[in-house]
Amino acid sequence: MATNSSNGDTQKATKQPPMPSPLRFSKFFQVIVADNFFTGSKDNLKKWIGHPRFELIRHDVTEKLLIEVDQIYHLACPASPIFYKYNPVKTIKTNVIGTLNMLGLAKRVGARILLTSTSEVYGDPLVHPQPESYWGNVNPIGVRSCYDEGKRVAETLMFDYHRQHGIEIRIARIFNTYGPRMNIDDGRVVSNFIAQAIRGEPLTVQVPGTQTRSFCYVSDMVDGLIRLMEGENTGPINIGNPGEFTMIELAENVKELINPAVEIKMVENTPDDPRQRKPDITKAKELLGWEPKVKLRDGLPLMEEDFRQRLGVAKNN
């Protein structure tokens, strides 16, 4: 969440003396991070702790949050299938009650709010690649529904608050994202394969292995989200890398780049796994002037370097 120090007193409609803080006229943002640390890690924030314009609160978005901000990046929700399926009721509460609370906060203080929605709103898509106009093919009662239907309701809430209360909204539909500082045990495919390759364990490709995903490097994703927040379009806008790979191709790339000695092993899959996924990013290009810059083969080694440091395994051993 960001507070622009030049107008951090947005909710005050009545005449009051200006804020005494010297930061009031600063062009710099102040950042408040609210996290319940279910999947997030304090390690990823440690370089900011103690910074004068940074604040960290342990908070769960399913509870009311009373702070003063100008912009809200609402990113809260586990995004890895193993984490969101671990407590599906909590996942759907986070998407529904959490989004409602963030919208209530946006309404009270007059903040602009950006929701990170997901490519999962397209379900197991029957249209390929997926444009924003596609309504999706989603199972409402499956094991993934807490996440994909949860995000669909979150998008509905965003548009209802926008139409009914005039809240300034932005919706990004994020496609698979990877990069340094991901939880090593996150359970998603890129972090699994990289950790497995470094440890010399078999790369676990879930059957059939021909299913596809499109992987966006984290710095490209952050750039896209900021452009969306600062621009004039509500979205939804797809933000993702259109480079599409089967899971077998991904495993082969990881093997070649990280550990050619490692084996590729086929394992069981989970229900409702989407068979193909690739963003149509025409809107992002036209409306945000955005497209990803980092190719998969350039991003994987950057993530490998970070994972090696954290796992304590040097290259070439």
Q: Which is nearer to ligand UDP, 66 or 141 (CB)?
A: 66
Maximum Cα–Cα distance across the chain: 70
Interface with ligand UDP, residue 213, by CB under 6 A: yes
Residue span binding ligand UDP (CB under 6 A) among the ranges 47-55, 132-140, 199-207, 303-311:
199-207
Active site residue 73: no
Q: Which is nearer to ligand UDP, 104 or 243 (CB)?
A: 104
Binding mask 105-144 for ligand UDP (x = CB under 6 A): x-xx------------------------------------
Total length of the chain: 317
Interface with ligand UDP, residue 188, by CB under 6 A: yes
Shortest distance (Å) from residue 47 CB to ligand UDP: 27
Figure out which of the listed residues 5, 91, 101, 177 binds ligand UDP, where binding follows CB under 6 A: 101
Q: Which is nearer to ligand UDP, 102 or 227 (CB)?
A: 102
Q: Is the dihedral of CA 132, 133, 135, 136 positive or negative?
A: negative
Interface with ligand UDP, residue 39, by CB under 6 A: no
Interface with ligand UDP, residue 93, by CB under 6 A: no
Q: Which is nearer to ligand UDP, 269 or 282 (CB)?
A: 269
Catalytic pick among 84, 122, 147, 161: 147
Interface with ligand UDP, residue 265, by CB under 6 A: no
By CB under 6 A, the count of residues binding ligand UDP is 22
Q: Which residue is nearest to ligand UDP (CB)?
A: 104
Figure out which of the listed residues 19, 45, 56, 100 binds ligand UDP, where binding follows CB under 6 A: 100
- Which residues in this chain contact ligand UDP in the complex, by CB under 6 A? 64-66, 81, 100-101, 104-105, 107-108, 176, 188-189, 192, 204-206, 211, 213, 247, 269, 273
Active-site positions? 147
